[in-house]
Structure 1
Amino acid sequence: MRTRSVLIVLFDGVQSLDVTGPLEVLAGANTWQAAHGGAPAFEIATASLGGGAVRSSSNLCVLPDRDLRAATGLDMVLVPGGEGTRPADPALVAWLRERGGQAGQLVSVCTGAFLLAEAGLLSGKRVTTHWAYCQSLAHRFPDLDVETEPIFVRDGHVVTSAGVTAGIDLALALVEDQLGREAALAVARRLVVFLRRPGNQAQFSAQLSTQVAQREPVGEVQQWIVEHPEADLSVEALSQRARLSPRQFARVFAAEVGMNPGRYVDRVRLEAARRLLEDSRDSVETIARQCGYGTPEAMRRAFLRALDVGPAEYRRRFHPGFSRSDKEHHADRDPVV
């Protein structure tokens, strides 16, 4: 295995956790390698234009290893986000345009995607960024395919991630690419990251990704859905609980919550199922029933649609020490038709 050179770009106004999160993961991978008698997986360096100290958005002073202009032969360039990306430093954008494109892999965390886009390095790519800036990124750079929900997105040699802690998930995925799943999980445990999330997992939970309804009947129903995913959550049943007609309930719910009742129910059930797969040892069949799917096949279809992975495989990846059974393996296979 060849050691990969990684350059983390620094600038005034950088978000410090966008830098230190991935850096700690990659350094942890080197520690794991050393413990197993291997050479470092990553040669990590930080750099700024001119090589001078930078001040983060939280006023932390960071002294880089080198001047960006002296960097050559890079396997990976990682561009963090932060207030310093808005507006972009023209000199930094020029460096990225000239030198960043020569790197084997381009990685951005949070609003670092704006710097790569400004440098013309994301044209035609599928990308993501912090949820609060997805709309702005799509508006400013209409040639990008901006995905608002995933925590990170890969498109060829470009990998972009959502905000702040999503950079840790992205870095763990890079470690898995280089060293395998065992190493990535070991680093995650060392950093007390309970589970490594898949890239297409949503940036937000169902509750956080939606508005809280202000109208009392709708707000109460919204909370009741979260507490009772196994119940009859049809519009007809929910409208009776809200004491509204089905048509009026659907209209008011969408206006108050920001999505229609069916989509909200889908998100709540998926989140509940994910949590049980991660934390419990209940069977897929039991979890499907507890979360309102009725059958394992219905839950499998929901997982494949939202996460591109079936429930049993999801549990295998993200439940520490869980042994996948033949019955659960069958639950992830396409049904015989």
Structure 2
Amino acid sequence: MCHLLQSVPLYGSSNLIPVNMKKLIVIVPMPGTFLLDIAGPVDVFTAVDGILNETGIAPGEGYEVILASPLTTKKIITKSQAEISCNVKVEDIDRPIDTLIIAGFPMKMLETSPRFINWLHDIYPTVRRIGSVCVGTYALAEAGILEGKEATTHWQYSQDFQNRYPGIKVDSNPFYTRDGNVYTSAGVSSGIDLSMAMVEEDYGRDVALKAARKLVLYLKRTGYQSQFSSLLQVHTLENSIAGKLHPWMIRHLQEDLHVEHLAEHCNMSLRNFNRVFLKETGMTPAKFVEKLRVEVARKYLEDSDLSMEQIAEKCGLGGLVSMRRTFMRHMMVSPSDYRRTFRTSLQAV
């Protein structure tokens, strides 16, 4: 078993200067979670604290990061069997928490962790903001923090999460969401995206860019960028109609892909094609084609130097106005802003 001991500065240690001006970041590593769920946010906030100290951008400010155990012991065993030694148990924290992040949450604790859930419920009104990484959303939901709010979680758990908590607006697409002072993120690496977004809120884009350079990260995958590409999802459909149509549609995006043409290509009646397609994919053929056009356009924006006009033409999105409207509907950001954000990210590393 690998031991990771005292991975962040000891809680209350005297070499933190001055702790009363630093934002206290409390990360709660849950048993059995991925190590990156924990280490990602820890490294982001720790790196930014170092940058602020080195540059003097915000004298005396920054972050103090501690790990707080939800158990009666300070030792946490991660999914990879690495052992983490937390600085403190959650109930022993005696200073105001600025940011509280729950990293992961084992399903077995849904019924066996009333002590931690009660603590989470009681501490929430006192923190400036609270967040979760991956299935840490379950902990926030159990504590009643997400009721009536928008949230995301790992795509594999999104349907179970929605069924279990119908009062929460679940969106399985974004890397992270924010609803008021409550933040949720998807799987594993998205905890880094969430932490970088928090840093940018606190200290601005320049500091976030410096952190991205230091950690060799992209700044930033927008929260509403899909966490799981439809171009990848379609391959899981195997012998479905969409799976068979997918390669052909990619090659013919510039053409008319109305449902009548798709049905004809599959040698099916229009009515039967619509019925089977909806059953297999959960969406109409028209919506699927539109999502596919946007997905391909997104990849062109990320990876090519094609003009907006060329991308719109290649993806069958009509003119610039039509492309912008369609892209905004799916990505909640304009094509030009999406490209600008991504290219700024590349230049940052």
CA contact (8 A) 1:127 1:144 kept: yes
On the 8 A contact 1:57/1:83 being kept in 2, the answer is no
C-alpha deviations, 1:73-115, integer Å up to 9, x for none? 0001100114266435222112212223311111111111111
1:196 partner SS:
coil
User: Structure 1 length normalisation: TM-score?
Assistant: 0.86
Offset of residue 256 of structure 1? 3.2
Q: Which residue of the partner structure matches residue 114 of structure 2? A: 90
Query: Contact conserved, 1:14 with 1:84, CA < 8 A, in 2?
Result: no
- Give CA-to-partner distance per residue, 1:280-313, whole Å, 9 cap, x none: 2221111111111121111100122122221111
| Other-structure match for 1:326 | none
Q: Is the 8 A contact 2:121 2:144 kept in 1?
A: yes
- The answer on whether the counterparts of 1:18 and 1:110 sit within 8 Å (CA) in structure 2 is yes
Match of 1:25 among 29, 32, 44: 44
Check 1:306–1:176 CA distance in 2 against 1; reply closer, same or farther (3 A cut): same
CA contact (8 A) 1:96 1:119 kept: yes
How many angstroms does 1:214 deviate by?
Answer: 4.1
Task: Give CA deviations for 1:242-287 in whole Å, capped at 9, x if unaligned.
Answer: 2223333333333333432212211211111111112222211111
Q: Which moved more, 1:163-172 or 1:237-246?
A: 237-246
| Pairing 1:45–2:66 present | yes
Q: How does 1:169-318 map to 2 (within 5 A)?
A: 169-210=193-234, 212-215=236-239, 219-318=243-342
Q: What percent of counterpart residues are identical? A: 37
Unaligned runs of 5+ in 1: 324-337
In structure 1, C-alpha distance between the alignment counterparts of 2:130 and 2:345, rounded to whole Å:
33
The number of residues matched between the two structures is 322
Check whether the contact 2:132–2:184 (CA below 8 A) recurs between aligned residues.
yes
Distance 1:91 1:213, change over 3 A: closer
- Pick which of 218-227 and 58-67 moved more: 218-227
Taking the aligned partners of 1:160 and 1:229, their CA distance within structure 2 comes to 34
Residue in structure 1 matching 2:96, options 69, 73, 78: 73
CA distance in 1, matches of 2:241, 2:74: 57
Larger deviation, residues 139-148 vs 111-120: 139-148
Secondary structure of 1:208's counterpart equals helix
User: Residues 197, 209 of structure 1: CA spacing in aligned structure 2 closer, same or farther, 3 A cutoff?
Assistant: same
* Amino acid across the alignment from 2:104: G
| Structure 2 CA distance for partners of 1:298 and 1:86, relative to 1, 3 Å | farther
> Which of the numbers 22, 25, 28 marks the counterpart of 1:9?
28
Give the one of 112, 137, 140 matched to 2:136.
Answer: 112
For the aligned residues, what is the CA RMSD? 2.4
**Cα 1:156/1:218, change in 2 over 3 Å:** closer
Are the counterparts in 1 of residues 186 and 227 from structure 2 also a CA contact under 8 Å?
yes
More displaced stretch, 34-43 vs 289-298:
34-43
In structure 2, the residue matched to 1:54 is 76
**Aligned mates of 1:285, 1:174 — CA distance in 2:** 34
Residues 185-234 of structure 1: per-residue CA shift (max 9 Å, x gap): 34334434335211122221013344644447653312222344323222
8 Å CA contact retained: 2:105, 2:139: no
Long gaps (5+) in structure 2? 1-20
The CA distance in 1 between the partners of 2:236 and 2:162, in whole Å, is: 26
Whole-Å separation in 1 of the counterparts to 2:215 and 2:345: 18
CA contact (8 A) 2:234 2:246 kept: no
User: In structure 1, how many angstroms separate the alpha carbons of the residues matched to 2:279 and 2:39?
Assistant: 40
Is 1:158 matched up with 2:177? no
Q: Is the 8 A contact 1:81 1:110 kept in 2?
A: yes
- 1:316/1:322 contact within 8 Å kept: no
User: Normalization by structure 2: what TM-score?
Assistant: 0.84
Aligned partners of 2:24 and 2:97 also within 8 Å:
yes
Is 1:121 paired with 2:137? no
Structure 2 vs 1, CA of residues 230 and 82 (structure 1 numbering), >3 Å: closer, same or farther?
farther
